[in-house]
Structure 1
Amino acid sequence: MPLPSTLLDFLHEAFPSGAVSTAEAERRACAGDNSRLNTLPDAVVFPTEHAQVEALVHACREHRVPITARGGGTSSTGASVPLEGGVAANFMRMDRILRIDPDNRLAVVEPGVTNEALQLALAPHGFFWPPDPGSAPWCTAGGNLACNASGPHAVKYGSTRDNVLGLRAVAGNGESFRCGTQTTKSAIGYDLTRLLIGSEGTLALITEATLKLTPKPLAVRTLRASYRNTAAAARAVARIMAQPATPCALEFMDALALKLAREHQPEAGVPVVEALLMIELDGAQDALDSAVAAVESAARVDGLVQLEVARDEAQTRALWAARKALSFAQRAATQHKINEDVVVPVSRLPELVDGVKQLAARHAVPIVSFGHAGNGNLHVNLLPRDVDEIERAYAALPGLFALVIALDGTISGEHGIGVVKREFMPLALPAATLDLMRGIKAAFDPDGILNPGKLLP
């Protein structure tokens, strides 16, 4: 249904020329994301300042029109798809880095700045922002906040939620507010900052974020360990994470992942084993030798086939070749990849990988397991190649999530819930917890205009 003419007239008055559009091309650009879901919004607005966002929310609330915030559109869960039409608030023009403060290890940014642009701006100051999703060149800080993104380095530095000090936002009731502080310690009541992070734009629209920065490490070392089976690799992960030198990355690849990478890029030298760990350590140069020695010792469990340590940049690239080849191998295998990001306790990784193998056999669809082993966060990628396999792949998802919950895990580690996983939320959380979350939603967004149809079942 078209937007009320009074709302459109107001938006054209409140926003500068070219910042409000009902043209099909711009609506279509905001209709989908990496979930392959697609719904056209009725209009697109491009805010460039906080006051415009506040005016937008007030006007949409008055007319009971939904608002869906979006940045780079890289979500794999449909979190940024405007399921009920309404207005898509595209924050890509609100992309300023307002302040970089090295003395206080913080940066103040608008939500539309991309993760990569932020990292490039921080590098000359000797700092970085730890969240490092694979979509960094395209995803925005606002999107990282919305789904609590992380990436390989979360094992040492934490996810987005661990690296934000404060926010400025507009709640669904139209009220502007600030939460958090510019200090790393605070004990002043409810932590609304952490509440908003991961809420997928269902509570408030974030217009400014104060980010906690980390000094760039002076040196990095890379190791690759190959194992006869997943159980041996999992034992090694537990031992590595139990010693003081925490890796900045600890990645896992199963046998099928290695096979795909080997077939796609034979020159990469991918070993023929059942499980592989990529381990990265960072820090001061003079401290890395002892850290590497400690990790080497922890990685040497029964079932180890080979342990390699890179001594220079060329060797580092060679060791990472298997992991890099996998991304291209999956794209070559199918355009219909279903990417899940489940998490289990590290000790239960073998049960997860074995259970996934059984699901793949039961549903006759290829499934690859790889990812952030140090957190127990695996990307379980279903790779259907035709219509029948696509149907069987989606039929396998309830079994995957039931397996994860049975292993004391959770159904998402960094991608969020959106609409794709919404129906499985009762598996992950008790009814009483979901009711409390609905109460929080009602307090922030009493008319339910912010990103309706997402997150809460």
Structure 2
Amino acid sequence: MTAALPPALDATLADLLGPEGWLTGEAARRAHGEDDSRMSALPAAVALPRDREQVAAIVRACREHRVPIVARGAGTGTAGGAVPFQGGVVVSFARMDRILEIRPGDRCAVVEPGVLNGDLQQALQPHGLFWPPDPGSYERCTIGGNLACNAGGPRAVKYGATRDNVLGLVAVTGSGKVIRCGGPWTKDATGYDLTHLVIGSEGTLALVVEATLRLVPRPAAQAGLRALYRDAAAATAAVSRLMRQPQVPAMLEFMDASAIALLRRNGAEVPEAGAMLLVEADGDHDTLPYALQALADAATGDGMLALDVATDGSARDRLWAARRALSPALRSIAPGKINEDVVVPVSRIPGLVSGVEALAAAHALPIVVFGHAGNGNLHVNIMYHPDDAAESARAHAALEQVFALVLSLQGTLSGEHGIGVAKRDWMPRALDAATLAAMRAVKAALDPDGILNPGKVLPPV
């Protein structure tokens, strides 16, 4: 049962936001109470502010009544980070969706958090620029959501994740104060780096109301490689070779045998193999052939079965269509999916893949592994039938062992999805007590009453 809001708070926010910005009907609350984790909970109300002043007023009013606030973008998160488990007010940034400035001379853009990643990319095209973060949901996800979980994507291997591509923020802390950190410059040694602290904090430290994003020139030319291997060990050895040589790939994606088999069952034109790498190079027309040759040389080695080169746009699209088709195809295996975006050092990828293969056999479950091999960030997808109690229990037992395996390989719990609640209880095993205490001290400083996205990221004391 969702706790009702204090009448005084309801009246204050209804007056502030008006009927289009203050929603208390069940349909609206339900629509804003879930994300792609398939978890859900009902908030007491939904606020849709139009500007930073309204955001600050919402936070101050909720703080006065000790009512939780959960910030929300488009709901594409997979870790339950935007689910209002403690009720309270969901703050949706759907109406704060303006691109405020595009500054080609400074290679930056200033945006509100509700701007869609895909819309921003379209707006930047005439300027010959792009913003590097490219999560799989880029057409639907918001910049605010990207900031919340430090989103990545295939391009992160060369261009970095969200945190590497933000110059400054304006945000509202849990006390309702507006802070400014960073700005339209690329060097800054002025005080603490609050910009990068807020990014990835999943709405637990402050609500971002404006971001200054670092832009990159769009490459003049791109080309791709598809390398097929005898087994995962041969493919992951190639990943290490690729990342040791000077030419950094623009993308480097791995698919294991189960991923390839899934694609073939769903009609994709992919040859049979034990593993596959998709590699992309970008640059100018003069240097691209040399970059592509360097990557092809590194990809070649023991266990490689075939190497295909795609230099024109349509050929590259055919190569990457298989990667884009993977996530939707997973549901054809089983309706239940536990998707974890774990990270290990690149040199430890072979241990991760072989360990997951052993877990799949031990638990008699399909586990599909693919993802951003150049960063050591692989998506481990445990497939199961939720209505089968025994199978569900095996799936969650396998998940625990996946996390234990990752930590034993000196890895970490999340590369781009965030912690939310899905991985929160593993934080004490991933981080030592002193580090968690420092994080709690930061949380208390910026959100003294603990109203911002309570229960997320940090485990209970």
> TM above 0.5, one fold?
yes
Runs of 4+ in 1 over 6 A off after TM superposition: none
Structure 2 counterpart of 1:298, which letter? A
Task: Give the secondary-structure state (helix, strand or coil) at the position aligned to 1:315.
Answer: helix
For structure 1, the residue ranges without an aligned partner over 5 or more in a row are none
* CA positional deviation for 1:318: 3.2
8 A contact 2:147–2:200 mirrored in 1: yes
1:316 deviates by 2.2
- Distance in 2, matches of 1:428 and 1:90, equals 31
> 2:181, 2:225 → 1: CA distance?
41
What percent of counterpart residues are identical? 60
C-alpha RMSD of matched pairs (Å) = 1.1
Match of 1:435 in 2: 437
Per-residue CA distance 1:27-49 (angstroms, 9 max, x = gap): 00111101111110001110110
The match for 1:190 is 192
Distance 1:332 1:93 in 2: 36
Equivalent AA in structure 2 for residue 40 of structure 1: L
Matched AA of 1:207: V
Partner of 1:300 in structure 2?
300
Gaps of at least 5 residues in structure 2 are none
Q: Select between 54-63 and 320-329 the one with higher mean Cα deviation.
A: 320-329
Q: What residue identity is the alignment partner of 1:364?
A: A
- Measured after TM superposition, the shift of residue 273 of structure 1 is 1.3
Report 1:144-155 matches (<5 A).
Answer: 144-155=146-157
- Kindly indicate whether the alpha-carbon contact (under 8 Å) linking 1:79 and 1:419 is maintained by their aligned counterparts in 2: yes
1:69-106 deviation per Cα after TM superposition (whole angstroms, max 9, x unaligned):
00100110000001100000011111000000000000
Measure how far apart 1:311 and its partner are.
3.5
Q: 1:39 aligns with which of 16, 38, 41?
A: 41
Q: Which residue of 2 aligns with 1:341?
A: 341
2:452 aligns to what? Answer: 450
Matches within 5 A, 1:155-166: 155-166=157-168
Does residue 220 of the first structure (1) align with residue 225 of the second (2)?
Answer: no
Deviation at 1:324, TM superposition (A): 3.4
Distance 1:241 1:58 in 2: 48
Name the SS for the 1:177 alignment partner. Answer: strand
Contact 2:149 2:200 in 1 (8 A): yes
Q: Give 2:314's aligned residue.
A: 314
Q: How does 1:278-289 map to 2 (within 5 A)?
A: 278-289=278-289
1:67 equivalent in structure 2? 69
Q: Which one-letter code corresponds to 2:355 in the other structure?
A: G
CA distance in 2, matches of 1:294, 1:324: 25
Equivalent position amino acid for 1:436 in 2:
A
Counterpart of 2:241 in 1: which secondary structure? helix
CA distance in 2, matches of 1:199, 1:289: 41
Deviation at 1:312, TM superposition (A): 2.5
Relative to structure 1, is the Cα distance of residues 118 and 311 closer, same or farther in structure 2, using a 3 angstrom cutoff?
closer
2:236 to 209, 234, 237: 234
- The 8 Å contact of residues 149 and 415 in structure 1, kept in 2 or not, is answered as yes
Superposition TM-score, scaled by structure 2 size: 0.97
Q: Which amino acid aligns with 2:282?
A: D
Paired with 2:321 and 2:89, the residues of 1 have a C-alpha distance of: 43
Residue 199 of structure 1 deviates from its aligned partner by: 0.2
Distance 2:445 2:85 in 1: 22
Deviates more, 1:212-221 or 1:231-240: 231-240
Once residues 236 and 144 of structure 1 are traced to their aligned partners in structure 2, the CA distance between those partners, rounded to angstroms, is: 30
Q: Give how far 1:229 is off.
A: 1.9
Q: Which residue of 1 aligns with 2:353?
A: 353
CA distance in 2, matches of 1:159, 1:370: 18
CA 1:328–1:54 in structure 2 vs 1: closer, same or farther (change >3 Å)?
closer
Quote the Cα distance in structure 2 between the aligned partners of 1:191 and 1:146.
16
Deviation, structure 1 residue 331: 2.4
Deviation per CA, 1:399-428, whole angstroms, max 9, x where unpaired? 100100000111100000000100011111
| Structure 1 contact 226–304 (Cα < 8 Å) conserved | yes
String of CA shifts for 1:369-426, please: whole Å, max 9, x gaps.
Answer: 0000100110000111352322211121111001000001111000000001000111
- Report if the CA contact (8 A) 1:76-1:415 is conserved: yes
- Aligned residue for 1:93, secondary structure, equals coil
How far did 1:300 drift? 1.1
Once residues 313 and 157 of structure 2 are traced to their aligned partners in structure 1, the CA distance between those partners, rounded to angstroms, is 22
| SS of equivalent residue, structure 2 residue 394 | helix
Q: Judge conservation of contact 1:264–1:325 (CA < 8 Å) in 2.
A: no
**Is the CA contact 2:23–2:46 (under 8 Å) kept in the aligned structure 1?**
yes
Q: Tell me which of 396, 406, 425 is aligned to 2:398.
A: 396
The AA in structure 2 aligned to 1:389 is: E
Q: TM-score, normalised by structure 1?
A: 0.98
Amino acid paired to 1:347: S
Q: Which amino acid aligns with 1:114?
A: L
Of 20, 23, 27, the residue aligned with 1:21 is 23
